[in-house]
Structures are given as C-alpha cells and as structure tokens.
Structure 1
C-alpha cells in the first residue's frame, strides 16, 4: 500500500510493476519546534506509513515525504503563483537539499531512511521564472521546480544517489527495502 495522495509517488511506484493500492494517510504535516528538515521528512514518512498500517496491519505500507532545505529552512509546496515566485527568487543561484524520506512498514517491522538530493538552481531573471511558472504551474511541488518537467531548465546541477528521490519516491532505495521484505523485483510475468 502506498500511504500517499501524491500522483507523482503513485506514478513512480507503478514503474516497479508490483500490485499496490493508494490510501490517504491523513497526517498533520506541521513541523515541530526546532525540528530539522531531515528529522521532519523522516518523521512524516514514518507517520504516514503508521497511519495507514493501523487500518491495514497485514499489509506492507510505504510512506514517503520530502522536505526541501535552504540554509536550514524548510521550503514547502507553494500553493500559488506568488509563493512559487518568491521561492524561486530565494533559491536563485543557491543549492537546496531535498530530503526524501522513505518508510516501509508492516506490523512491528519498519525500515526508515532518507535520500538527500542537492540541487543547485541557475541564476535566472524574474522574467524567465515567471514564464516557467505560467507554463508548468508547479504549485504542488516542494521548491516549485518540477524536475521531471520544464523545471529541469531552472537547475544547474543535481547530485543524488537515487534520481527518483527528487521526484518524491526513491525507487532504488525502495527496491532494496522491498527485496529485503521478500518481494521479487522485477516480478516474473
């Protein structure tokens, strides 16, 4: 089961060709006082998996969360054009670390990890950023730069051990956790 409402995570998990269902985890994503961005991502991935696992104790549940970190501050989903523009202006020429946390849970068995992705943004004009936002409308993406789409043009470099982590679900890491849990990936036809 995928404990997520993210269409991006669902699309990524479909690549592994394993049967799964999607369940909304209904978790409060408010950061705790003085909580680091890494700790926030890990806590939310585990909380999402745990919320769904409570109602489905025999299922393997995948929880994931991503928090973008700019100099220790969390950069969330902008929700609208104005906030997205402010985010992109703030990140212009900067390196942002996207912490993508993953939790695989079933009963008392749990594996939790995080894959960091360092993204350096190009120094682009407001005009270019505005044109991007009107074309892509990435208001549901942390940091406003949809790397699987036109947002890739805003980026100078991406450094990660798992390229799918930046989109929201680290498939290399997840494949390893699922194999450890007994899944065969890729599955026989």
Structure 2
C-alpha cells in the first residue's frame, strides 16, 4: 500500500491519526489560506483541505496525502486563529453562551486525484466570565487554534453541548478519514496489532 503523508503540522491531527493506528510521515503544505471574495465558510474549509493535499501530493509521488482544515464559524463569520491576546478575548466573548459551528474538511490526494468530505459539528458554549476568559488566554492555549479554543484542552470546560463529531472539533473527523482511506484502498485496520495467538 502507498505510504501515507499528513499535509499538516498540527500535533492534534498527528495524535488523532496515531489513535487509529496509522503509520505516516508529516509534510506541511505551504498554501495561501486567504478566503476568496464572497466564499462561503463551507467552500473555504473544503478548498483549503484539498489544496493542502494536492500541493504535497505534487511533491510526493506514489503516496496518499491527507490534507485537512478546520474553521470555527459564528453566525456565518469564520473565526480563524487569533492575531493576539485582545483578539482571542474578543472571540471568546462572542462565543460565550452561543452556538457555533466547527467545520472540518478532510481530503485525500493521490497524484492529481483528490477526494474530500466536509463535517460540520454544532458546539454550544456556556456563559463565560471575563476572569476565566482572561485566565484562559493567559494560559496561551487559544493562540494557535481556530476560534481561540481547544476542546481537547483547558477549553473543554466551556462546552455545554456538542452535536456531531468530537474528533472533527479537535481537528480531524476520524470516521470520515477512515472511510476516505478505505475508498483509496487503505483500510486503517490492516495495521492494527493483534494480541490473539495463532
């Protein structure tokens, strides 16, 4: 089977792939992540996942390249990674007591062929106090995360309800990733260890 390449520097995506038993190398994609004029959040997220996968696939022939992108969307507005402490505080105040969408796309490219899926998860935050927002931002955790929070870290205490894929909110929808890999001829379970004796 073709070697797997993850076109992302995200440690969270690497951890999720390791969780399902994948063996892979990491080759982050260098693409322009600027939204196009009038582009919907759904189109933006899926386009970036595909562009990342295809960019690395062009440099790594004979591999299966996995690209992914995640955006936090509040009332139709994409909340990216905060530019600084003040923007992180502003984002978290906006998310406080509100329901937002986490859109994560995953794409698998082989040569110039690319298949992708988009997963949208509804996440609701409880009301957040200003002092806990400031303590969270001071921890540094929000600074490299879309929407200024990480559900798998300290920010998990803000989430009062989740409808959809937890792993997609972390950064990679595992069920859909495994399905795309299986369709590409790489069922993830072939690498699972066996503790049963012959």
**Which TM-score bucket, shorter chain as reference?**
over 0.9
Cα displacement string for residues 12-33 of structure 1 (whole angstroms, at most 9, x for unaligned residues): 1111222211112101100000
Uncovered stretches (5+) of structure 2, i.e. residues with no partner: 194-198
Offset, 1:176: 1.1
Separation of aligned partners in 1, 2:134 and 2:54: 39
Which of these two proteins has the greater Rg computed from alpha carbons?
A: 2
Which of 168, 183, 188 is matched with 1:185 structurally?
A: 188
**What does 1:42-53 correspond to in 2, within 5 Å?**
42-53=46-57
TM-score normalised by L of structure 1: 0.94
Offset, 1:136: 5.1
Does 1:55 pair with 2:67? no
**What does 1:1-189 correspond to in 2, within 5 Å?**
1-135=5-139, 137-160=141-164, 162-186=165-189, 187-189=191-193
Q: Is the 8 A contact 1:44 1:64 kept in 2?
A: yes
Uncovered stretches (5+) of structure 1, i.e. residues with no partner: none
Matched residues, number: 188
Q: Is the 8 A contact 1:81 1:137 kept in 2?
A: no
Cα displacement string for residues 38-66 of structure 1 (whole angstroms, at most 9, x for unaligned residues): 11000000000010011112110000001
